[in-house]
Structure formats: structure tokens, C-alpha cells
Chain A
Amino acid sequence: MPIPSPLYSRTAALCTTQEWRDWSGYFSAITYGPSYEVEYYAVRNAAGLMDASPLYKYEIRGADAERLLDRMVTRNVAKSRVGQVLYTPWCDEDGKVIDDGTLARLGPQHFRLTAADPSLRWLQDVGYGLDVELRDVSTELAALALQGPNSYAILQSLLPKAKLGGLRYYNLLQTEFNHTPLTITRTGYTGDLGYELWVAPEHAPALWDSIMETGAGYGILPLGLAALDILRVEAGLLLIEVDYSSTLHARIPDQQSSPYEIGLGWAVDLDKPDFIGKQALQAEHAAGTPRSLVGLEVNWYDLERLFGEANLPPQVAGRASRTAVPVYAGEEHVGQATSMVFSPILKKYIALATVRSEHAALGSQLEFEITVEYVRKRASATVTKMPFYNPAQKRALPNG
């Protein structure tokens, strides 16, 4: 049974629906009010605030911290600046992904890693014999995700001294809130302008209150997982155990994925010195990757036609569906869509899918299985550039 997170006193008071999901053992609100769409639009048009405390968090300090991390993750940690955040996967020796997360460089010898799954043991094993201090700070740090185009205005008026205007995408700054350290990273899981705030749990409720209060004039709403799931699919962001499996949980080799297969090839630096999985990844890079993650846009006219045959308007997933469906090229089964949702802002039915690489080129025409009144049918779908929705403010410097 889940337990309350450090922000539960605040989220529970707002969660009128009592719809909760277990996120890493904590109560996490699915929707706060009767309409998840209102929360979704708050992020796309104003701001949403989410309790992200259940993330696993680790501190890595010491003379060999950089060495340990460069051995573990696929991106080049040595090249990262203090104040930079890297999004990176990490792999096993076979080059198969264990997990993905963000790696914040707080100092020359000081890092903070987030992960979806518990990772202390892996860090310890990789760091065996190195001069590092590893700490699981999952319960020592609460996390608040403030996301949406108004997030900058809210945070800046709450923290006038913090130089947020110059804070670039995937960078961090250290400041104080209520005389206690606060780390702000310009990161998130929504594909929009946004920040994640890392603070000691005992100060988290006060920070939540201040943000909600300041944000009231900016249209802020609490953000639940249902809306988040739509936002992250539009942003083309993967969810572990939905869009791919951790190699640690795979039962058969087919369930394992390399970074190349899940669209994270850009995050693999084959030029850096030895790291776990490098040889396998070099070989895969040379030989070509058999499967690829793609974005699919399902042809709406096809949906209208197929549902129209049953005298119905198209019925598609309003909340993101995590039930995988087969994808075909002609008569051949070539992969599966793993997350799909009707994008409220784009008015398109979109999906994340893994398909055989020969069908992964942009514009490739595939078929996507849908069920019309219990009958399996196929709608045409086009391989589309991701992110599906990519607003300029995501990366741009806000007016500061």
C-alpha cells in the first residue's frame, strides 16, 4: 500500500476525486478535479504544479564521482559544466537500457541523479573501489514540478533574487527558500517551459503553498498523472515499463532495448572512454539497429470512416492508453504502439511506437490496430516527427 509523500497534506486537500495511483510506493494524484483536461490545458497555456517527490534521487560526491558516472551513463559527463543537467540512459554490459533519468552537476565533484527505479545497488557496483560517497536521498529531497508557459513568471515573482531569466534549458541554479537550500532545474516531463524544484521535505509544503498562492493570478492548477501522461506523449517522452522495459525486468531478450532502439541514440557518446555497454553499442551502431522508436499520427479520416461504418463518431483514448496495440506494414506485423492518446491541442490521435527500423523513416505509411465495437480494424498511420508538440518557450530564454 502506498504511503503519503512529503506533499501529501497539500495534494490530498486538493484531490477531490480521490483518484490516486501508486508511484514508487507513494500516493500520487491522477486527477485533482473532475476534468483532467483542465489540468492539461493549465500546463499548455498557464501553469501546473506537480508533486514529483516519488522519483528516486541519489547524490554522488567525491574525487571519482565524474569517473563513476562516466562509466555508468552513455552521455559524456566529463564534458558537462557545473550547473548543467544531462538527460541520459544507462545500460548493462550488453548495451541494454537499465533506466533513464536526469544527472545534475551541482559541483565539480558533486552530482545528483534521478531515476525511475531504485538504483543505489547499481551505483555501488559500478563505483566499486572508487573514491566516491553515494547516498540515496530519495526521502531527503522533495520534488515539485512547475510546468507551463507561466512557470517562469510565477517562480520569478516568488523568488525575485534568483536569476531565472538567464537559466537555460537543462541547466540548474542554487538558491534559497525560507533560508533553506533550493535547487531549481529547468527540466520537466511536459515538453513545455518548466522547472523542477528540489528541497528538503520539511520545507516542501510551504514551497507548494507559496507557488500556488503566487500562481493564482497566473492560472496555476495542481497537475495530476492523467494530464501528465498526455503531455509527455505529445512531448515524445518515454515512460519506462510502458514504452520500453528495463533490462533488469525483461523476461526474454526481445523485451530488452538499446538506447538506439528507444530513440536515445543521440545520448550515446561512443567517443568517450570505456563505459558499460560501449562495446555492444559500438557493434549495434555499426551494424544498424533492428528496431526504432517512432511517433505515429493516426489518419483521422480513416478513423471517421471505420467508426462511421458502425455509425459512430471516432472513439479514441482521451486519457493516454498504455495498452499496446500491434502496428502493421501491409500484412506484416512490424511493431507495436505503446502509448497513445488524442492530443487535445493538436486534435490528432498520436502514439509512441516501436517498429522495425526499415519502417521508421519519417512519412512511412503503417497501419495501426483499433477496435471498433469489439471488432479489430486497421487505420492508416504516418511516421511523424517528434515531439508532436514543441512550443518555442520550451527551450527559449524567457523574458528576463
Chain B
Amino acid sequence: MANSATYDAIVIGGGHNGLVNAAYLARAGLKTLVLEQRHVLGGATVSEEIYPGFKFSVFSYVVSLMRPEIIRELELVRHGLTILPLESTITPLPDGRYIYRGPDSAATFRNISQFSTRDAEAYREYSYAMYHMAKAVKYILSIRPPDPTSFDPRELLALLKLGKHFLSLGEENIYTLAKLMTMSSADFLEEWFETDPLIATLSASGIIGTFLGPRSPGSAYVLLHHYMGEIDGVFRAWGFARGGTGGVAEAIASSARALGAELRTEARVAHVITRNGRAVGVALENGDEIYAKRIISSLDPKLTFLKLVDQNELPSDLVNRVGKFDSYGSSGKVNLALDAMPELSCLPGYGEHMRGAISISPSVNYIERAYDEAKYGRFAKKPYVDIIFPSAIDPGMAPPGKHVMSCFVQYAPYQLAEGDWNSQREAFGDAVVDTLSEYMPNLKQLILHRQVLSPWDIEQTIGLSGGNIFQGELSLSQLFFLRPAPGYAQYRTPIANYYQCGSGTHPGGGITGAPGRLAAIEILKDAGKVLQ
């Protein structure tokens, strides 16, 4: 038994990309095993009842761009997936005013007009422009990155197709795209708008999960990432998953099981077993060894290359690059169980705005200052916060009349200049609640339970190196054929039969399932099969 492969494939890590990958492999007939270290599947895509009766989407909290083809191909709806609409954002301001953007375009227009009619008009055009940009980039998200240095005709053909795609965009769009790739989100938005809190709120999409400020070059690209769902319009790949983000993982897991994959929890992999430069199995921390024809890591690049395998098996330049792969987290999470819905002082009452996002982003400088603190190893005392009330969208998340509040907070650096996160965690939580209380004066008295997570806590709980929610910064130097490292962006590794399929590969983070699916296509290709 010791040497014979029991499985066709072992996927290390039961996060959503690992599960997507496993489901596709099983669907193609491969005997597939998923090994998850925790007691629960999902990785960062997990819902847990942290306080009795209250379900938290502990880490990731919205479904960004779950690929509709994955939803259809894996029949995720039949397995319980429902993505609920999340379609407004309100930005409360210290002076009691607010910016509201929602599904009613006329209401949005009137609201922005209170600040600037010019901006209200520009906002519509901006949406069209971003639509075109997102369409341009969507193609890239759906393909395996070609190798620009290879003379392999297949690679050249892929590059040619890519080039043709870009030329088809037209001159104007190509210029805009070039700007998006290089500018800061604030600079890019200032070409469109003059209302500071509007620019700030829009620019926040450019910094989420990254160690960049709204004035950092490169942040404009991340803006685009968030517009991708727009293309799908009514197809709504963007929203809130019923049951929290764990609902996504559960649906994929259920689909994977139905397709024949075996999913094992509390099975922590110590390392990948290799023989003559080929991956042949995994050794678990409990000493068990399991053999398989191919091993796929859905973990982040640092774990995939520097922990799971012996560095001697890898070319030194890869070891070097992965060692420097930027994956320090910049964001924290505060999850609250509340006795009732708090009141926003700028717009009291439990209206439809409470079913959307609330953005604490009163000015560009406000966010940039929060970033300044993080640059020097301190958490922001006045942070940018992206709030949703999952229980307002899905009442099943909390007992009737009670609520859960999810606060995504930036910035919280992984490495603190003074002290450690064990000693700073609650002070960070206090800073967040104090900030929110300026806009929701009755918040503090409603808190039944508070969970505070720093990037360090994220790393400790689910293993993400540096606590980076995207398994590595979404900066231009770490995207497409550079993700996670040049020459290894096609889901393969220098070790034969050892693959990668996590968010650390193209097209990156967010609950998209895209890396898991694209990796499956390559793995199946090597196995002489086609993803149907």
C-alpha cells in the first residue's frame, strides 16, 4: 500500500478554490481527496456561530465575482448556493450628510447632485467607462496566463489572441486601461469627480485587501477588479451568500461530494512527498501518508513552495521570488453580535440602505492618513471601514430582531511596530467601535459580542501567510503571468505532478473560484482529459 497511489489527486486545503478544483477533477472522473486542517471546510470562506444564535462570516464577507459558469457547471444552486443582492452603498459624513448610491439611478443622481451636479452626471458615464474596462479585463480573468517569454507556438498563439483582444478595445479604451494600470485610484477618480467623499468611497474599492493607500500608484487597477460583477448585470455574481460566505463553501463541498470527491477535515498536511522530482503523496501531521498521482496545493505561494516541499527541490530563483512574494495583510475584521439594528444618525430608521454596504470613508485624506499609520506599523485609529449587516440581507444569520454586523477594517498591518497583536487586538477593536459610534451613536449599547481579527489572527486561524486575504498582494508586479512567480503562472510547479490552485495564482483573490477552475483545466490537460 505504501507506494501505490490511492487517489488520482489530492487537493491540500479545503478553501473555496481547493473545493472548486476538487469538484472539477472529480467531475472529470479523477478519484479526488481534499485535506483540510480545520474542523470546518471553507478556509477564509466560512460561517461560524461564534456567539450562540449568531452566524458570522468570520473572514470574507461578500461574494465578489463567483464565476457564473462555475455556479452552472457545478450545479451549485441545487447544492444550496443563493447569492442575495447587495446593491447600495451609503457613506455617512461627519457633518450629518451622506452619499447614497443604490439601484435607483435617479435617487443616486439626486443624492450626488446635492454635492455636485457635475459629479452626478459624471457618475453615470463613469459606470459606462468602467463597464468597458471591466469587459476588457474580464477576458484576462478567464484565461490561463500565457508565458510571454516562450516560443512555444501555443504560447505565441495565446499571446496573439491577447494582443488581438486589446486592439479590439479601440484607442480610447486602451488609453484608459493604461491609466488604470498605472495610476492611483484617487488620481484616476479625480479625473472624473470633484466631490471628495465620493472619490474617497469609490477609491476604497482600490485599496481593499491591499497594502496600498488611495494615493498609491497601482491602486486604480484594484478598482477594476470590483467592477467585474457589473458586466454580468442581472447575472449577479456579486452579493451576499445565503448563510454567509460559508454557504458558498458548503455548496461547493456538497457538489464535490456528489461528484465523488472525498473531503476530510482535521487532516493537516505536514509536507508533500516527492520521489525523483515528482510529487507522489502527502504526509499528514499525524504521521499518515497518503499517495496520489498528483498533488494540488490550494494554499498560498509561501506555504505551497516554502513549507510543503523541500526548498532543495526547487530552483533557487523561485525560492527567492516566493520568499519575497508580498503577502503581508493590511486589513482586519470586527464582527459584532447586536441586540438590535443600530441607527445611522445621518439617515435613521431601518430602511433599505441598511441592506447595503455602509462605507466609513469621509475623505481621501482620511483613508490616506489611516494608511500612513499602517506604513509605520500601527493600526489606524480612524480606519476605513466597510460595513454590512448580513442579518438584514439574510435574516437567518441572527435570531429575529437581532443582528450581526460585519466590519472590514483597514488598515491593520500584520507587523506591528510596538507590541504584538495579542496585546493590541482589543485596542484595535475599540478604535473601530469608537469610529463607528461617531456615525451610529447607539451602537455600543447594542453589542452582545465582539470578535476582533487582525491579519495575525487570520494567519493563525486559517493559515494564510501574513494574513493577506488575497493570498498575496494584488499589485501589478504580482498579477497575471507574474502570479505567483514568472514562469510558474500556469498552475504548474517545478516539481512534476505538483500543482497550485489558490488565490495566489491568476486571477487572484476574492470568492471567484476562477483559480481553482483554471488550474483544473491545466491539470486535466496534463492527465489527457478535457474540462467539460
Which residues of A line the B interface, CB within 8 A?
33-35, 37-38, 41, 44-46, 150, 153, 216-219, 300, 311, 313-314, 316, 318, 342, 344-348, 389
Q: Pick 23 A–B contacts, CB within 8 A, sort by A.
A: A33-B104, A33-B352, A34-B102, A34-B107, A41-B84, A41-B85, A150-B395, A153-B400, A216-B401, A217-B399, A217-B400, A218-B400, A219-B394, A300-B69, A313-B232, A314-B235, A316-B234, A344-B234, A344-B236, A345-B77, A346-B77, A347-B72, A348-B72
Given A217-B400, A347-B71 in contact, is the A35-B242 Cβ separation under 8 Å?
no
Q: Across the A-B interface, how many residue pairs have beta carbons closer than 8 Å? A: 70
Among B231, B232, B396, residue most surrounded by chain A Cβ atoms (within 10 Å): B396
Residues of chain B lying within 8 A (CB to CB) of residue A344: 234, 236
Among A314, A316, A345, residue most surrounded by chain B Cβ atoms (within 10 Å): A345
Residues of chain A lying within 8 A (CB to CB) of residue B493: none
Give the nearest-CB partner of A318 in chain B. B234
Among candidates B69, B231, B395, residue contacting A313 with C-beta atoms closer than 8 Å: B231
Which residues of B line the A interface, CB within 8 A?
68-69, 71-72, 77, 82, 84-85, 87, 102-104, 107, 135, 168, 231-236, 242, 350, 352, 355, 392, 394-396, 399-402
Whether the Cβ atoms of A34 and B84 lie closer than 8 Å is no
Docked Cα-Cα span, A162 to B71, in Å, equals: 40
Interface majority SS (helix, strand, loop, mixed), chain A: loop
Residues of chain B lying within 8 A (CB to CB) of residue A45: 82, 84, 242, 394, 396
Whether the Cβ atoms of A38 and B400 lie closer than 8 Å is no
Whether the Cβ atoms of A342 and B85 lie closer than 8 Å is no
Residues of chain B lying within 8 A (CB to CB) of residue A347: 68, 71-72, 77, 235-236
Residues of chain A lying within 8 A (CB to CB) of residue B395: 46, 150, 217-219
Docked Cα-Cα span, A87 to B102, in Å, equals: 41
Docked Cα-Cα span, A33 to B104, in Å, equals: 9
Apart from A38-B355, A150-B395, 6 more pairs, CB < 8 Å:
A35-B103, A217-B402, A219-B392, A318-B233, A344-B236, A347-B235
Docked Cα-Cα span, A217 to B395, in Å, equals: 7
Docked Cα-Cα span, A318 to B103, in Å, equals: 14
Nearest CB on B from A19, distance (A): 12
Docked Cα-Cα span, A56 to B399, in Å, equals: 38
Nearest CB on A from B420, distance (A): 41
Nearest CB on B from A17, distance (A): 9
Residues of chain A lying within 8 A (CB to CB) of residue B71: 347
Whether the Cβ atoms of A342 and B234 lie closer than 8 Å is yes
Nearest CB on A from B401, distance (A): 4
Whether the Cβ atoms of A34 and B104 lie closer than 8 Å is yes
Docked Cα-Cα span, A318 to B236, in Å, equals: 11
Whether the Cβ atoms of B401 and A217 lie closer than 8 Å is yes
Nearest CB on B from A223, distance (A): 15
Residues of chain A lying within 8 A (CB to CB) of residue B236: 37, 344, 347
Interface pairs A-B: 7 shortest CB-CB? A217-B400, A219-B395, A34-B104, A217-B401, A35-B103, A318-B234, A34-B103
